[in-house]
Amino acid sequence: MDKPRVGIVGVGNMGGAMAARLLATGWPLQVCDIDAHRARQLGLQGAQVHHTPAQCAGGVAALIVCVVDSPQIEAVLFGPAGAATVLRSGQDVRARDGTMSLMLACDDAAFERQRALVETLSSKAFRISARPGNGARTKLVNNLLAAINLVGAAEAIALAGRLGLAPEQALSVIEQSSGQSWIGSDRMRRAIAGDFEPRAHMTLLEKDTRLALQAAAAAGFEGPLGAAAHAVFARACAAGLADQDDGALLQLLRQPPPR
């Protein structure tokens, strides 16, 4: 069966990886990005390149919006050249290899229509509920914990160094003991080696922790760690680390606190 055409608005790190995955598996694809260079690079790989979200939404069976925050989503969908002007007619680095996690909130019929697309993009697709927004809410819960774990891992490795321990050895012990976390191992291995090339910019978890705290406040919930983790990411961004990998928290926490 021929695969239907898909559109992606926003082909940065995550959207670009999803686009590469779809092109590699034979999906007809059209893309749009505020950074024309990113879109052109995918054009060289076979994607159709468009200049506006409305153009990118034309003739697709599914439109993926992969941008940073709610204002950008509003602009992509409902701006002057937004995708909604077309879609209202009734058209219904693990991302690259199809092992990313997807959190989905939709009714059964919508899921079945896009099952093949979802299964191409992800071998770990979680059906959260039929309530719109629950996928994003689950993502915020997960990313809040990821941020807390990463701050904890960076703090532990910075302390290990201050105590005269070899950071590499301390991390090896942690990885086989009760302090282990996936994000701690992933980020701290690179950070200890001095590799801060951004796979996930510092700004992303700063943003996600901020949004998670807003969601918590709206729900009348206050926890002890989320605000502290967000403050560390905000401090890192203010210290000039915004464009570095979020593992650069180790750099920040190795420095003496300001007096």
Domains, the chain, with CATH or none? 6-98 (3.40.50.720), 136-254 (1.10.1040.10)
Strand order in the sheet with 62-65: 48-49, 29-32, 6-9, 62-65
| Residue 259, pLDDT score | 67
**CA dihedral sign of residues 64, 65, 67, 69:** negative
**Runs of H (alpha helix) within 79-114:** 84-87, 108-113
Q: How far is CA 181 from CA 95, 97, 150, 174, 211, in A?
A: 21, 22, 8, 9, 23
Bridge partners, 104 (sequence order) = 127
For residue 20, with 0-12 CB atoms within 10 Å meaning exposed, 13-18 middle and 19 or more buried, which class applies?
A: buried
pLDDT at 92 over 50: no
Minimal CA–CA distance to 228: which of 249, 248, 242?
A: 249
Task: Please answer whether residues 59 and 87 qualify as being in contact, where contact means their C-beta atoms are separated by less than 8 angstroms.
Answer: no
pLDDT at 156 over 90: yes
Average pLDDT over residues 201-208: 93
pLDDT digits (tens, 9 = 90+) for 104-155: 999 999 999 999 999 998 888 999 999 989 999 999 999 999 999 999 999 9
Identity of the amino acid at 87: L
pLDDT at 241 over 80: yes
pLDDT at 90 over 50: no
| Residue 122, pLDDT score | 87
**Coarse DSSP helix, strand, coil percentages of the chain, rounded to the nearest 5 percent:** 55, 10, 35
Predicted TM-score (pTM) of this structure: 0.73
pLDDT digits (tens, 9 = 90+) for 41-69: 999 999 999 999 999 998 898 999 999 88
Task: Please answer whether residues 142 and 223 qualify as being in contact, where contact means their C-beta atoms are separated by less than 8 angstroms.
Answer: no
| Residue 100, pLDDT score | 76
Q: How far apart are CA 156 and CA 219, in angstroms?
A: 32
| Residue 167, pLDDT score | 96
